[in-house]
Amino acid sequence: MADNDQVSRGFRLLDCQEASKHHFERAANRLKMKRRLRDWILKPFREISVHLPVVMDDGEIHLFQGYRVQHNNTRGPYKGGLRYHPEVSHDDVRGLASWMTWKTALLGLPLGGAKGGITCNPKAMSEAELERLTRKYTQAISMDIGPSQDIPAPDVNTNEKVMAWMMDEYSKLRGYAPAVVTGKPIDLGGSPGRLDATGRGVAIIIEQWAADNNVPIENGTAVIQGFGNVGYHTAYHLNRAGCRVVGVSDTGACVYNSKGLPVEELIKHKQETGSVKSFPGAETMAPAEVFGLQCDFLVPAALENAIKGDNFEQIKARAIFEAANGPVCPLVEPGLTEMGITIVPDILANSGGVVVSYFEWVQNLQQFSWTAETIDMELKNKMINAYRQVVEKATAEQVSLRLAAYMLAIDKVAWASLVRGAY
Ligand code: GLU
């Protein structure tokens, strides 16, 4: 969602596609990958762009633009979320789709990568309008998605209700198929643990990193930027592990208390008032101040390019855990590294969502449900295993965790591409 000419304190902002390419090329250089193979695995396999006429509540017809970019299905069906946002562009969806390919490869899931987006302002739309828009979009892409083709899921501003509409519309057109989307309500084939999976996964990675770096989680402090589904559940699980969540921000404000914030009360306050602003017992400040707060773990959990030229120098955290996709502008990363701040990359840190999506899909295909305990255990196993691989690779190659994660992921996709062949 970055304007190409936008500059933040001398550092250009990259859109998701540029950011993804930036990281990819660095890893491919390190792997000495040939140009043709790079193009093969970096360029999206298929792109769908649709115009969706939707009858609004006032009777007027509004035309929306939607996308689905199917980046790569070499290792399994395309997989990735659907985002509703006023500024989502085709290029962003391209970049976000490629991140899903690297994420599923890194985690060893038998899935590829895709992403969908609709340019709309869901906050200004009624539920009925959102339902009509979702159904129109599902109709438009129904021939290109499916349980063994492409499996959408929630992303920014979409949720289990949106997934239920998609599943219903797709099933009307193509026959009952709960496995066509993940992140559904539990009673419609959703999985225990999917709602909080991304946040739970971020907390698992933070705990592991903390243990490896001698920062006892019980004495640790966290700051969360963005208090939506991912931010809230990260805060919740960190809190349960004994970590103090000292700062939380949303688009309206940032709240701070050095003794720790009661996250469950804070979410209630946000639900009632629309923002964390003026939460009793905490100091309220401007949202941008969140990045200057002293803490061990900084968790950007909103949108891309949150950490950029005009704020990265204020950061006082020991490590940044990318709960959002692409929250650190790649051009400020060298500066953060120089400041001694570790960055745990999105394709690892926020992969809990797609891991439990994979479990949901498997349960749908098996027509058998797993318990919440099994899901949590399997999630933990997969995430810690991937974390270990990334740390080992980074140590062996003397590179950042991001570069190590990309090297592992793109190597797997390249290998699968060459073994499957192009005949
Ligand atoms: N939207 C989430 C992500 O960016 C989850 C995708 C999925 O579960 O397919 O990873």
Residue pLDDT, tens place only, 77-105: 999 999 999 999 999 999 999 999 999 99
Q: Is the fold of 44-181 the same as that of 197-349?
A: yes
Residue ranges per domain, the chain? 44-181, 197-349
Atom number of ligand 1 nearest to Cα 183: 8
Q: Which of 9-13, 190-194, 361-365, 410-414 has the lowest mean pLDDT?
A: 9-13
- pLDDT value at 417 more than 90: yes
Say what the pLDDT of residue 212 is.
97
Say what the pLDDT of residue 4 is.
46
pLDDT-derived band at 6 (thresholds 50, 70, 90) equals low
pLDDT, tens digit, 9 for 90 and up, residues 17-27: 999 999 999 99
Atom number of ligand 1 nearest to Cα 358: 8
pLDDT-derived band at 8 (thresholds 50, 70, 90) equals confident
Single pTM value for the model: 0.97
- pLDDT value at 188 more than 50: yes
Active site residues: 115
pLDDT, tens digit, 9 for 90 and up, residues 31-81: 999 999 999 999 999 999 999 999 999 999 999 999 999 999 999 999 999
Compute the mean pLDDT over every residue in the chain, rounded to the nearest whole number: 97
> What residues are in contact with ligand 1 under a 6 Å CB criterion?
79-81, 153, 155, 182, 325, 350, 353-354, 357
Pocket test for ligand 1, best of 163, 198, 200 (most atoms within 8 A of CB): 198
Ligand 1: centre distance to CA 108 (Å): 15
Q: Give the architecture-level CATH label for domain 197-349.
A: 3-Layer(aba) Sandwich (3.40)
- pLDDT value at 2 more than 60: no
Say what the pLDDT of residue 267 is.
98
Say what the pLDDT of residue 1 is.
55
Round to whole Å and give the CA distance between 149 and 136.
Answer: 19
pLDDT, tens digit, 9 for 90 and up, residues 144-162: 999 999 999 999 999 999 9
Ligand 1: centre distance to CA 104 (Å): 10
pLDDT, tens digit, 9 for 90 and up, residues 258-282: 999 999 999 999 999 999 999 999 9
Atom number of ligand 1 nearest to Cα 155: 1
Say what the pLDDT of residue 27 is.
98
- Going by alpha carbons, the residue nearest to atom 9 of ligand 1 is 80
The CATH number of 44-181, from 3.40.250.10, 3.40.50.970, 3.10.20.70, 3.40.50.10860, is 3.40.50.10860
Atom number of ligand 1 nearest to Cα 151: 9
- pLDDT value at 169 more than 60: yes
Ligand 1: centre distance to CA 339 (Å): 31
pLDDT, tens digit, 9 for 90 and up, residues 196-235: 999 999 999 999 999 999 999 998 999 999 999 999 999 9
Ligand 1: centre distance to CA 197 (Å): 10
Q: Kindly provide the b/e burial profile for residues 158-176, where b requires at least 16 CB atoms within 10 angstroms of the residue's own CB.
A: bbbebbbbbbbbbeeeeee
Share of the chain above pLDDT 90, in %: 96
Ligand 1: centre distance to CA 156 (Å): 9
